[in-house]
Amino acid sequence: MSSTSTAKPRFDWTQAEVKALFDLPFMDLMFRAQTIHRENFAPNQVQVSTLLSIKTGACPEDCKYCPQSGHYNTELEKEKLMEVEKVLAEAALAKEKGASRFCMGAAWKHPSEKDFPYVLEMIKGVKSLGLESCVTLGTLNDEQAKRLSDVGLDYYNHNLDTSAEFYDSIITTRTYQDRLDTLSRVRGSGIKLCCGGIMGMGEEQKDRVGLLRQLSHMQPHPESVPINMLVKVEGTPMENVEDLDTFEFIRTIAVARILMPKSHVRLSAGRQEMNEQTQALCFMAGANSIFYGEKLLTTGNPEADKDMALFANLGIQPEQREAHSDEAVAEAIAAQAVKQEESKLFYEASV
């Protein structure tokens, strides 16, 4: 990966400056984002993470977009905390398929003292497989952040979701400040941050501007910035919310890239609903991380083979943490490219 840019990241973007980026002609915005992307990253590499739900459903929080909230009836099957061995078996499988980071999500308001030691074991196990570790467990206190840091957790995911102004329309069981407090505890304990938001929840552009501005004011910027497109799930209050224009979503990615030039911008939830051309434009706008695998917490994710076929088609390589695993992934991509060539007609028909 190259890191040749001499331009220093800024932490003082104003709302008007961010809005002006959104207002650029689409091609100008894309060109600017892609130029900044190339100054900071290998242009044809995308980081691949796998996400596993280690504790599903019955969450006491009321996030209006989430099928795991206990406040809504989404007929989601609830599960207790997974056994450590099962989680590690999934992590080994993810590594085999080319993931460099393994993310574990638990539907909790905050982790309980009873469950926490098991999560620490999971993190240690994932790291011993040579994978980067990431967890999302809800609100943390100082001691929990320190214990996660002590076992070597690489990333903590804690999204701000939207602007401070729109937040109360989405969640009432916690505040924006609660989120900022956990984020600063995590940062203070030396763990890297994964923090982003969800687009298409009925927010206005000023809320997308506000979210990105807020993220860009964090010093340093979150290392990983997931930009999600709402997945509308039946039974949640957002099942019928109006679709966000796809170009506006791509613009959001491009602006995130410009504001946070050295962060991995992750094209995250909602990717399954996007065609390959939209995904390609998201990569062009500076997205350089995806979730890969069959499930994204509780909503579907494009099948792994389809992702590899898209990577092969676009000449993208998965970014690798360890050099020695490059070979296996390169082989997988090459095999996929051959398969794709052989069945081109069928492949194109299925897009």
68 binds ligand SF4 (CB under 6 A): yes
Query: Could you tell me if 49 and 100 are in contact, meaning their C-beta atoms sit under 8 angstroms apart?
Result: yes
282 in catalytic set:
no
195 in catalytic set:
no
**Interaction residues for ligand SF4, span 97-126 (CB under 6 A):** 107
Q: Taking the CA of residue 230 as centre, how many other CA atoms within 13 Å lie in the half-sphere pointing to its CB?
A: 26
Which one of 185, 187, 194, 271 is the catalytic residue? 194
Q: Coil, strand or helix: which one is 155?
A: strand
Residue from the set 40, 49, 50, 69 that interacts with ligand SF4 by CB under 6 A: 69
Q: Is 66 annotated as a binding residue?
A: yes
Between CA 39 and CA 318 the distance in angstroms is 19
53 binds ligand SF4 (CB under 6 A): no
Q: How far is the CB of 61 from ligand SF4 (least distance, A)?
A: 4
- Which part of the chain contacts ligand SF4 (CB under 6 A), choosing from 10-18, 60-68, 120-128, 216-224? 60-68
Between CA 246 and CA 227 the distance in angstroms is 13
Between CA 275 and CA 307 the distance in angstroms is 11
- DSSP state, 125? H
Q: Coil, strand or helix: which one is 109?
A: coil
Count the residues of the shown chain that bind ligand SF4, applying the rule CB under 6 A. 8
194 in catalytic set:
yes
Which one of 101, 185, 266, 271 is the catalytic residue? 266
Between CA 96 and CA 77 the distance in angstroms is 28
Nearest to 341 by CA among 304, 312, 302: 312
- DSSP state, 204? -
- Which part of the chain contacts ligand SF4 (CB under 6 A), choosing from 66-74, 198-206, 227-235, 254-262? 66-74
Q: How far is the CB of 298 from ligand SF4 (least distance, A)?
A: 9
Query: Could you tell me if 224 and 218 are in contact, meaning their C-beta atoms sit under 8 angstroms apart?
Result: no
66 binds ligand SF4 (CB under 6 A): yes
Positions touching ligand SF4 (CB under 6 A) are: 59, 61, 63, 66, 68-69, 107, 138
Q: Would you please indicate which residues are annotated as catalytic (active-site) residues?
A: 59, 63, 66, 103, 134, 194, 266
Mark the binding-site residues for [2Fe-2S] cluster, compressed into ranges: 103, 134, 194, 266
